[in-house]
Amino acid sequence: MDSEQREKNGTILMQKYELGRLLGQGTFAKVYHARNIQNNQSVAIKVINKQKIFRNGLIDQIKREISVMHLVRHPNIVQLYEVMASKNKIYFAMEYVKGGELFAKVAKGKLKEDLARKYFQQLIGAVDFCHSRGVYHRDLKPENLLLDENGDLKITDFGLSALYEPKKNDGLLYTTCGTPAYVAPEVLNRNGYNGVKADIWSCGVILFVLLAGFLPFQDNNLIEMYRKISIAEFNCPRWFSPQTRKLITRILDPNPRTRVCISKIMENCWFKIGYQKIELPKSPVSNPTSDVQAVFDSSSSSPEEKTKETAINVKPSVFNAFDLISLSSGFDLSGLFEEDNCRRQHARFTTTKPASTIVSKLEEIAQAERKFKVLKKDGFVRLEGNETGRKGQLGIDAEIFEVTSTFHVVEVKKTAGDTFEYIEFRDQSLKPSLKDIVWAWQGGEQ
């Protein structure tokens, strides 16, 4: 059955998943219950409209969400099983959590202290795990916390999350995002913020809501609410115990420098009551086989992004989704999978220039150096040394992969000769000469 047909009950997606009822819907995506017809497992399928994310500039956000969910494998975090795509849609196959949102439970009123503590313990454990992987959620709230059939908490929706990728050298983040009532004051100030401390603040607001049944910072006037957040102006209900009052006050500290850290929260006497430490998975990083060519291929580009390619036929990419993400600036995960020697002999860069421009630039470099001859075939450009080095003639291959019609990945690798001669040429000649066409080198060099 064609996966491009309108989603409806009984549709077989990618010959693997039978779609069921609609679970939820947003601006750019719908979430369905589905059944894996191979093993009868229940899953949630997030269906994303490609044209909408292209038109709204959300490609990087989708890549980041996949990358983050790939990194954070934890019992209290919704798991991403695989990423698939058709011509017009991207599909996330995720863990199905059938208990619903924690928000629905809180909407009925405050929780008993023991139950609120259990959820808070699981939340803090999962958030601490995310931070250990360099991941900041940035939109923690009861609507993004699900409950499974055992009543255990699961964090979801990493669409606004960030990996450790500061725009400046101060280690801070600069994107103002999140839900106003749960956002830390330093995020609102727009002067840069620490992702760890911002998440901790949101956890404190959640704890308050679980125990109180209402928000600590409320006002019909948004500016007035921001003022209350900026100075942490809130009052604990009379039924809060002295221990919880003290803990929440330490978490909802408007000064991020003095705000309590997660390790201190875990040492708190109230927090430790009945706390069961989670046995973390031994292999938090996996390597799914999702096909990036299917997720972000040229057919998914908007009409405005279509360009004609005449000078060279680009070899189709065979990278999977997570390989592509690892090539993006700030998402270099290759150290988890590659040996050091292999990494020294390979380099990759991304570019928005057409393949013909890439080839022409490599030819110019070869001519300028006067020690290479150029061979071209399909998506390959081969530079062969005219001089004999310490281990023979230096050979370098540049392979061009088309991701979309306006986005290419180029892999440069040594195929012959001495490794140190190759590294010297790559770093001192090749990279500086390519700076006009390179968007980002693997590892973040701009």
Could you list the residues known to form a binding site for ATP, using ranges. Answer: 46
The catalytic residue among 2, 114, 139, 297 is: 139
Longest CA pairwise span in the chain (Å): 83
Residue 177: helix, strand or coil by DSSP?
coil
209-219 residues labelled b (16+ CB within 10 A) or e (exposed): bbbbeeebbee
C-alpha count within 13 angstroms, C-beta hemisphere, residue 317: 28
Which residue from 378, 408, 410, 380 is spatially nearest to 395, judged by alpha carbons?
380
User: Rounded distance, CA 133 to CA 135, Å?
Assistant: 6
User: Rounded distance, CA 372 to CA 429, Å?
Assistant: 13
User: Rounded distance, CA 60 to CA 236, Å?
Assistant: 40
Distances (CA, A) of 418 to 388, 391, 427: 10, 5, 14
* Contact (CB, 8 A) for 395 and 386: no
User: Rounded distance, CA 14 to CA 88, Å?
Assistant: 13
User: Rounded distance, CA 61 to CA 53, Å?
Assistant: 9
Distances (CA, A) of 98 to 44, 74, 90, 147, 154: 10, 18, 23, 7, 11
Q: Which residues contact 76 (CB under 8 A, 6 or more apart)?
A: 122, 123, 125, 126, 152, 153, 154, 155, 278
- Annotated catalytic, 139? yes
- Residues that are catalytic: 139
